[in-house]
Every structure is written in structure tokens, then in C-alpha cells.
Amino acid sequence: MDPMICVTDIHKEFEGVTVLDGVSVRVLPGQFCALIGRSGHGKSVLLRHLAGMLRPDRGQVLVDGQDLATLSMYDLRRLRRRFGFVFQGGALFDSMTIFDNVAFPLRECLGLAEDEVRVRVMRALEQVSLNGSEAKMPAQVSGGMGKRAALARALVLEPQILFFDEPTTGLDPITAQAILDLISRCHRALGFTGVIVSHQIPRVFEIVQQVVVLQHGRIRFDGTPEQLRASNDEVVRGLLGADDVPPAGEAGGGATGKESAA
């Protein structure tokens, strides 16, 4: 099976500081991949390359066979309509209702009639259990509800690929777990290809089929949660902070466990 996302030997520097140093990753269609690692080791930068928000200094990022670096701005915008992105803080517009926040990409990208906009927004809100909250402003809802609204906005274009950058940041443990459970339910129901940056270790392993560990901008480990649990790599063990990792809720195909001496 051809990968939905194929990253080959990408490098990225900012002001002379190397952030990504020869990263290669493959994510199969319908697979959910977690990017983990310590802060400042390149996870969010890699995620933004996958979404076409950044271009590598060297290397290649293919999404569904298309090289993001060679696409025209018009073609890149068309491809991005197949993406959804959930940011750390949710990035809701404070001056818009929950309904208008979720409707925003439909109005900006598709130019649908308002009747169709309403149908699709209400369906997305129902998927994240926000029925009845559409008239509220972001300041009137809890942090967890705001995260769910951000997820609804990402889902409303019915994307094939969803990117999550620390979607549980700022939430208490119970609410964070509820958000991860919701993301997992949406993945099972909709079958999108997903990539999530998360510090929710080991909880995130329950919802993904692939785990990539980044260390100093390089891949330290790439494999399934089960393979990660069996790893004897001291860096991986130190990151986990435990002698054991709970098995994933769903075993996935795809990448085999690969560990680097990087």
C-alpha cells in the first residue's frame, strides 16, 4: 500500500539552528500516528511540514503522491482542503459564535449556500457532542468545549487527513482523556489519516497505530505502540518514564519498529 504521507530526508534550520536533521517518515492511509519527544526536538515543526505550512531546506514531503514543495500556491490551497488542523490553543475566533467558527472554512473555501453550511456545521457539532452550543461565544464555553469546537471546525470540510498539535494542552487530566477518546471515536468513524503531536504519554498510545519518537531533530524510534513497549532503547525508556507501556487499543499495520543510535 502506498503511504498517504511520505517524508524523505528532510532538513530544516532556523537562524542557523538545526531543527530537523534528515527525518524520514511514512504514514499509511487511514493510519493514526503519534509524534512524541521532549520539548524543542522538532515535533511541531515536522507537523507543519506535513501540513504544507513550512517547506524543508532539503528533502521531500509527499502527500498522496504530491510533492508539497513543487505545488503552485493554487494547487497547495486545493490540496489543503483535504486537510484539517487542530492547533494547541484551539485558535477559535473570539468575536464569532461557535457556529460561525465551525462554518468559517466552509464559507472561505467552498462558498456553499447557507442552508448547506448549517447542515454541515450542525453535523460536525453533533460529531463532537456540542449540540445546543452553537450560539455561544468561545469565552462562554469551557476549555474542553473549546477543544471540541476546534475539532468540529477541523472536521467540517470532511478531510482525508487530520493534524493535531497538542490538542489537550491546558486541560485537566480527565478532560484531556475525554478529548483523546473523542478524537479516537472520530478516527474510527471517519477513517481519516491522522498525525498527532502529544505529551499525553502513555494515554495517546491507546488511540494510535504508529509512534514516532523525535530526538534532536532525528527519528529515534518508528513503529507500533507494542514495539515501543518492547524497546530497550534507553532514550525511549527515559521518555516514557516507566518500565512498561500499556498496549494500544488497536494494533495497526505499517511501520516496523526502527531504532536509531542518533
Mean pLDDT of successive 10-residue stretches along the chain, which has 262 residues: 96 96 98 94 95 95 95 90 88 94 90 91 95 94 94 94 94 93 95 95 94 96 93 86 45 43 37
Alpha-carbon distance 197 to 168, whole Å? Answer: 10
Sequence-distant (6+) residues with CB within 8 A of 214 are 23, 35, 36, 37, 41, 42, 43, 46, 220
Start-end of CATH 3.40.50.300 domains in the chain:
5-82+161-259
Q: What is the pTM of this model?
A: 0.87
Residue 97: its pLDDT value, please?
Answer: 97
**CATH superfamily membership of 5-82+161-259:** P-loop containing nucleotide triphosphate hydrolases (3.40.50.300)
Cell numbers standing for residue 120: 454541515
